[in-house]
Amino acid sequence: MTRIATLLGCAWLLASCTGNAGGISLDGLIARHTAARGGATAIEAVHGIAIELRIAEPTFQVDGRYTATRDGQMRIDAFQDGQPVFTEALDKGHAWSWSPGAASPTAESAQGAAALRHGVEFPFKLYGLHELQGRGHRLELLDRQKLDGIDYYRLQLTLDDGFQVQYFVNPDTWLIDRSRELRALHVDIDPKPQWIETLFSDYRTSAGVQFPWHQVERKLESGDVLVTSTVTSIEVNPVLDPARFGAP
C-alpha cells in the first residue's frame, strides 16, 4: 500500500472513532443484537456448524461446504459439477489447502491461517457479539452513520491479533446489515489489502439462531462485486469427525 493510501485509511478509521452513538451504550447495543439473533443461550449452544452454499466470483462459480467447530477447526470444500476443485482447512492453528492433482496438501501461510481463523471468530457462525470480549477481542461503539437511508449503529471489532472490522447494526432489526474491513480477498493468491464492504441479508432461523443466508463482498470505493455467497442449507451441531480437519 502506498503512503498516501495508508494515511487515508488511518484518517478514515480515526474519523470513525469519534463522537457518540445516539444515546445507546455498547452493552445495550450488544444485548439488543444478541436478542435479535435468538438470545445468548441459543447462540452459545452452537458448538459446530455445517453450511452448504453457492459461491460466485466474476470468473467462476462453485458449490461449497463449510464446516467449523468451537474447538478451533474449520474446513471448506469447493466443487464444480460435483467434483472437488479445492479444499482449505484450519486444524487448531495449522492451515492447509489441497487441489486435485497435487501430490499432497500444502501448508498455508501465517496470513492465510489468520484469515481462516477470523472467519470462525466473526459473529455470524459459531459465536455471538456478546462472547467476543470474553475471547480476548475488543469492541468499541462508534458514531452512527447513515447509508442508503438507514441510520446505522456502528461497532468496531479488534481481534486479539490486531485485525479490525466495522459492523453496521440496523436500528430496526438490530441485526448486522454490513461490515467494512481492510484485507486481501485471497491472501495467499494476492496479499494486497483493499477496503471491502460485505452486505448481509436474508436472515433465517436455524436451531433458534438467526444466520444470514446471503452475502455480497464488494470493493468499498467502486462498489464492484467481488464475491456473492448464497446459503442453501445450515445444520447446527452436526456430527463432525475431528480427523476431517487434519491434512490427509
Average pLDDT, the chain: 91
If pLDDT is split at 50, 70 and 90, which confidence band does 1 have? very low
Q: Is the pLDDT of residue 152 over 80?
A: yes
Rounded Cα distance, 105 and 38, in Å: 39
Label residues 189-199 b or e (16+ Cβ within 10 Å = b).
Answer: eeeeebbbbbb
Q: Determine the pLDDT at residue 245.
A: 96
C-beta of residue 213 within 8 angstroms of C-beta of residue 202: yes
pLDDT higher than threshold 60 for residue 188: yes
Res 5: pLDDT: 37
The amino acid at residue 124 is F
Q: Is the pLDDT of residue 18 over 60?
A: no
Specify the residue for cell string 467476543. 132
Stated as kind and residue range, the H or E segment containing 3 is helix 3-16
Beta strands 138-141; 194-206: pairing state: unpaired
Measured distance CA(120)–CA(95) in Å, rounded: 13
pLDDT at 69: 97
The per-residue pLDDT for 121 is: 97
Q: What percent of the chain has pLDDT over 70?
A: 91
Of the candidates 176, 180, 238, the residue with the CA atom closest to the CA atom of residue 212: 176
Helix (H) or strand (E) holding 110: helix 110-121
Burial class of residue 222 in the structure, from the number of CB atoms within 10 Å of its CB (0-12 exposed, 13-18 middle, 19+ buried): exposed
Closest to 76 measured CA to CA, from 54, 46, 59, 60:
54
- Number of domains present in the structure of the chain: 1
Containing domain of residue 133, as a range? 3-245
Q: What is the pLDDT averaged over residues 184-195?
A: 87
| Angstrom distance (rounded) from CA 48 to CA 207 | 12
Per residue in 43-82, pLDDT (tens digit) is 999 999 999 999 999 999 999 999 999 999 999 999 999 9
pLDDT band at 21 (very low <50, low <70, confident <90, very high): low
**Is the whole-model pTM more than 0.85?**
yes
Question: CA 238, 243, 244, 248: dihedral to nearest 10 degrees?
Answer: 180
CATH number for the domain including 200? Answer: 2.50.20.10
Task: Give the list of residues 6+ apart from residue 33 with CB closer than 8 angstroms, or none.
Answer: 129, 169, 174, 175, 176
pLDDT band at 22 (very low <50, low <70, confident <90, very high): low
For 25, the 3-state DSSP assignment is: coil
Q: pLDDT digits over 190-248, tens only? A: 889 999 999 999 999 999 999 999 999 999 999 999 999 999 999 999 999 999 999 98
Specify the residue for cell string 480477498.
185
pLDDT at 8: 37
Query: Can you tell me the mean pLDDT for 151-157?
Result: 98
